[in-house]
Amino acid sequence: MSTFQAPKGTYDLTPPRSATFLAVREAISAPLRDSGYGYIETPGFENVELFARGVGESTDIVTKEMYTLTTKGGDQLALRPEGTASVLRAALEANLHKAGNLPVKLWYSGSYYRYERPQAGRYRHFSQVGAEAIGTEDPALDAELIILADQAYRALGLRQFRILLNSLGDKECRPVYREALQTFLRDLDLDEETRRRIEINPLRVLDDKRADVQKQLTDAPKLRDYLCDACKAYHEEVRALITAAGVVFEDDEKLVRGLDYYTRTTFEFVHDGLGSQSAVGGGGRYDGLSEMIGGPELPSVGWALGVDRTVLALEAEGVELDLPAVTSVYAVPLGDEARRVLFGVVTELRRAGIAADFAFGGRGLKGAMKSANRSGARYTLVAGERDLAEGVVQLKDMESGEQSAVPLAGAAAELAKRLG
């Protein structure tokens, strides 16, 4: 074993488990690709100020969890703790919103970093697939994203997840609610840090998971009682559209999410099989974020789904994904001439799109066949000097154990036919 290990709170993805993570990323992104979302990739680090302004100075992410660094040139950078602010920054920088086709629909996949207390389902390095629809205020867009996430999870075979839905109001009605909530919270028995949060973003106090805090919040003013008519109508339209699509959800008036930029629609996907870290993904509308980071007014909505949390949810439900075989054909040469010939066959198979591997290292038949078995290959090709002299190779079906000689010249075509 190496003297070095992965940093605390991180994980390595190695075969065969890594194949499940790849399959989850593919399943989440597939509905997005089919719905007009284009792929975007952003740097793993950004200017600290992007997250301080965008994510919110009162959030735990910015105050406690962000990995920050100072470059040799004196720049203050942060490893990205979430994806939305980076994607919006990149879209603005590339002037995608000026191309005349709004909304700008983007999806992304990558690693994110937060200095968390490591536990099952909560890591300091984690993987997400996200989607953002930038530049349009339309309840159908909010509904589309919720439906696509639901579709992705169901395609994976997940069934025991719930969708929580709320509205946080907008710049017209939320300030009135904010003032009422602050008045209520200031009279409670809270620690200094929470009191500081009351003045910056009181809605975040509603998201406090501590039992002694939640007990005091029983009579807190309800946001729904303060929503303006426009926000009420918008939220009802979102609810109606996802209901018509057959997507089941639960109204949760305390759902505020851990980011300051959300407005109106906010939602979370939770899985009860994951214990305290039950959220597998979430998102919402962030109509003011573009202006917060120095851009024009661009109402937008998006979500991010945790790949590692989704894998844990699959394991909690006992769902096994139907993963394609890494190797379909394994070639075992016996002798130098057979090595050259079978290596050529393997190259031909790969060019034909067939997953093929080769017994490297000049092992004997017994050791090579063990490797063939471990590879999961459906067929093994074996050839020695006598086979080559007769112009054939031995083709073994690893499931049935049947073996037959096939013409060397037609081996690739025969395998292609058998593998469909």
The reported pLDDT for the residue numbered 276 is 67
Q: Token digits for 231? A: 């926000």
CATH 3.40.50.800, the chain: domain bounds: 329-419
**Residue-level pLDDT at 60:** 65
Q: In the prediction, which pLDDT does 299 show? A: 95
pLDDT at site 253: 84
In CATH, which superfamily holds the domain spanning 329-419?
Anticodon-binding domain (3.40.50.800)
Q: What's the CA gap between 171 and 177, in Å, rounded? A: 11
pLDDT in 10s for each residue of the chain, 420 residues: 678 999 998 989 999 899 999 999 999 999 999 999 999 999 999 999 898 887 766 566 676 788 999 999 999 999 999 999 999 999 999 999 999 889 999 999 999 999 888 777 788 899 999 999 999 999 999 999 999 999 999 999 999 999 999 998 888 888 888 889 899 999 888 888 888 888 887 887 887 778 888 888 888 888 888 999 999 999 999 999 999 999 999 998 878 765 667 889 999 999 988 876 688 999 999 998 999 899 999 999 999 999 999 999 999 999 999 988 889 999 999 999 999 999 999 999 999 999 999 999 988 899 999 999 999 999 999 999 999 999 999 999 999 999 999 999 999 999 999 998
Q: What is the pLDDT of residue 273?
A: 82
CATH number for region 17-173+227-317: 3.30.930.10
Residues paired with residue 269 on neighbouring β-strands, in sequence order: 163, 281
Residue intervals of the chain classified under CATH 3.30.930.10 are: 17-173+227-317
